[in-house]
Chain A
């Protein structure tokens, strides 16, 4: 049923890839892969800095882009973007955890549908190609089946705007008890039958339940953006699932060469955005950003 669409999407991508190859022939000194380093703005930088200072630090540490939260002062973010030259590849919806699209209350869902739409508009303003959306939460009160149906219905309300703006709604796999199967995740996206719905794949978030290299091959061209995160199965086994996150890049159980090879195989080119779950205390933020940036270079070259 989707063969025609898939083929068209594939051809479009091939043409884009060809155009890129013609426009920017690879230099011998160029990085091994066309992956750009981004950073998800969050609490890990500390709140004492201004937005501009944060952008400046990221720039100094070698990042090329920033993923901000939606609902912030857009003028301030635009100024910081223009002052530093950092790109904004993605914007993170800010209400999807507290007012989830899976909530039994339609009024609650409506709040995040509106937030989703305004995140799309902010993304357009920043020049971002996609937004990050957590599609809902499964818990003791909200069943997997309800989360599936309610979140799809809610997202559908924002699809026309996403198509009109040319900004993709990229669904992220997070620890929300939902989207536990990569096949189902792919199906979930395909059911929208819209080029404006894609995937925001978080590498570290699936290691507790599977293998990111499998997810990447299954999701394929649906992947619009990547979150780079490490995970330790050993710490999961010995100390509990959440402790699996407390490990630095390249020191957990991510099989980075296999992950990179899977990305090469699907033809992924674009952003690799750091969302470090490991946040050591009492560390100079700028030094930490530089360390993360160096480790990402190693990962992208592995």
Chain B
């Protein structure tokens, strides 16, 4: 063990011991979060009950949707001690791709609400899906319209001190990591960052390359697994039907790339693999344990 690694290891141990005595910290000091929209199982749990199960499974934070009852979310945070590292407003920000200017204006309003939600929860950033390319909305139009919409939100984002983090999703847009970096830089605002989803680029690229290219623009990371083998044999979307650590993500290479860019922050689970008829508490513990393994690679 070289001195640096050993010091990091000891530091992480000490931090873990102070903050979360019940759970071993990972060697990188990444904080584990969970995207609320992907909460496992069919259930009618309250927000606070879900937060509690996340806490019990070892998560330190939760990424809720925007437009929730702020008081309810804050009460659940207070009761459980979970932090809110990010607020997701995909359904709203996707409206920025709409050919109708009035609909795009609704998207802007939705993003602005998410920024206010984030401020209230103490979240440093929100998750913004940059519209979407479709037969109706071309790549060029989507580029222009989403930048226009996001630009309108920059004054509020800067005022609140909450970043808008653009996520790469399966919306046929930002298929090149170089273009994604350029897209962010063109705003010339520190209030626009990247919300990098590791699993979403596996069908057409390599997450470790994206991480190095996006570098310091990455504000938040979504953890997701993908199987190229399943995609090739069973169809594109079937690539998501695979458990953490059992797909084709080269996790050691991904962790190394994150180390090299100096990323230290939240790793938020957005499991695309959602087995049916699971018991939420057990499933969350399983995901949490697998994330620990990933972060320690």
Q: Which of A140, A177, A181, A236 has the most CB of B within 10 A?
A: A181
Residue numbers in A under 8 Å from B176 (CB-CB): 144, 179-181, 184
Query: What's the least CB distance linking B113 to chain A, in Å?
Result: 30
Q: Chain A nearest CB: distance from B137 CB in Å?
A: 9
User: Please, which residues of chain A bring their CB within 8 A of the CB of B174?
Assistant: 181
Report how many residues on chain A are interfacial, defined by Cβ distance under 8 Å.
29
Verify if A241 is at the interface (C-beta below 8 Å from B): yes
Cβ-defined contact, B209 with A218, below 8 A: no
Shortest A264–chain B CB gap in Å is 17
A215 (CB) vs chain B CBs: closest residue? B139
Interface members, chain B 224-241 (any A CB < 8 Å): 231-237
Inter-chain contact B212/A210, CB cutoff 8 Å = no
Whether A209 pairs with B172 at a CB distance below 8 angstroms is yes
Contacting B at CB under 8 A, from A196-239, are: 209-211, 214-215, 217-218, 236-239
> Is B175 in the interface zone, CB < 8 Å from A?
yes
Give the chain A neighbours of B205 by CB distance below 8 A: 138, 144, 177, 180
Q: Number of B interface residues at 8 Å Cβ cutoff, please give it.
A: 28
Indicate with 1 or 0, residue by residue over B231-267, a CB within 8 angstroms of chain A CB atoms: 1111111000000000000100000000000000000
A239 CB contacts on chain B under 8 angstroms: 234-235
Contact flag A184-B232 (CB < 8 Å), given A214-B138, A214-B139, A218-B138: no
Q: Determine the distance from Cα of A239 to Cα of B237 in the docked complex, in whole angstroms.
A: 10
Closest Cβ of chain B to A113, distance in Å, is 23
Check A183/B179 contact, CB under 8 A, given A143-B213, A144-B209, A211-B138. yes
Q: Are B232 and A240 in contact (CB under 8 A)?
A: yes
Q: Answer yes or no: B276 CB below 8 A from chain A CBs.
A: no
A238-B235, A240-B232, A240-B236 given as contacts; is B135 within 8 A of A184 (CB)? no
Q: What is the CA–CA distance of A282 and B179 in the complex, to the nearest angstrom?
A: 44
| Least distance between B140 CB and chain A CB atoms (Å) | 5
- Pairwise interchain contact B133-A214, C-beta atoms closer than 8 A: yes
Q: How far is the CA of A240 from the CA of B231 in the complex (A)?
A: 6
Whether B140 and A241, one on each chain, are in contact in the complex, defined by CB atoms closer than 8 angstroms, is no
Using a CB-CB cutoff of 8 Å, which residues 138-197 of chain B contact chain A? 138-140, 143, 172, 174-179
Closest chain B residue, CB of each to CB of A185: B176
Expressed in whole angstroms, the minimum distance between the Cβ of B97 and any Cβ of chain A is: 13
Contacts of B212 in A (CB 8 A): 143, 145
B135 and A255 within 8 A (CB) = yes
Complex Cα distance A273/B212, Å?
38
In the complex, chain B residues whose CB is within 8 Å of the CB of A13:
none
Q: Are A183 and B140 in contact (CB under 8 A)?
A: yes
CB-CB contacts below 8 Å: B89-115 with A: none
A181 touches B179 (CB 8 A): yes
Are B233 and A240 in contact, CB atoms less than 8 angstroms apart? Answer: yes
Q: Does A79 sit at the interface, judged by CB under 8 A?
A: no
Residues from chain A with Cβ under 8 Å of B233 in the complex: 240
Residue A261, interface by CB 8 Å: no
A182 touches B140 (CB 8 A): yes
B175 and A181 contact, CB distance less than 8 A: yes
Residues on B with C-beta less than 8 A from A217 are 138, 140
Decide yes or no whether A300 CB sits under 8 A from chain B. Answer: no
The reply on A279 being an interface residue by CB < 8 A is no
Could you tell me if B179 and A184 are in contact, using CB atoms closer than 8 angstroms? yes
Verify A240–B213 contact, CB threshold 8 A: no
| B1 within 8 A of partner (CB) | no
CB distance from B26 to the nearest CB of A (A): 25
Q: Is B206 an interface residue (CB 8 A)?
A: yes
Within 8 A of A (CB), among B44-76: none
Whether a CB of chain B sits under 8 angstroms from the CB of A242 is yes
Bound CA span A148–B231, Å: 26
Determine if B204 is an interface residue (Cβ-Cβ < 8 Å): yes
Task: Convert B103-139 into 0s and 1s, putting 1 for each residue whose CB lies closer than 8 angstroms to a CB of A.
Answer: 0000000000000000000000000000001010011
Residue of A nearest to B203 (CB): A241
Q: Is the CB of B235 within 8 A of A182?
A: no
A240 — which chain B residues lie within 8 A by C-beta? 231-236
List B contacts of A139 (CB < 8 A): 206
Closest chain B residue, CB of each to CB of A211? B135
A209 to B212, CA, bound (A): 23
**Complex formed: what's the CA distance from A140 to B138 in Å?**
29
Q: Is the CB of A143 within 8 A of B206?
A: yes
- Chain B contacts with A in 198-224, Cβ cutoff 8 A: 203-206, 209, 212-213
Given contacts A182-B139, A214-B133, could you give 14 more A-B pairs where the C-beta distance is less than 8 Å? A143-B209, A144-B178, A180-B175, A181-B174, A181-B179, A182-B140, A211-B138, A214-B140, A215-B139, A217-B138, A237-B235, A240-B231, A240-B235, A241-B203
> Which residues on A are within 8 Å of B, measured CB to CB?
138-140, 143-145, 148, 177, 179-184, 209-211, 214-215, 217-218, 236-242, 255
Nearest 8 A/B pairs, CB to CB: A180-B175, A214-B138, A143-B209, A240-B232, A181-B176, A184-B179, A238-B235, A181-B179
B interface list, Cβ under 8 A from A:
133, 135, 138-140, 143, 172, 174-179, 203-206, 209, 212-213, 231-237, 250
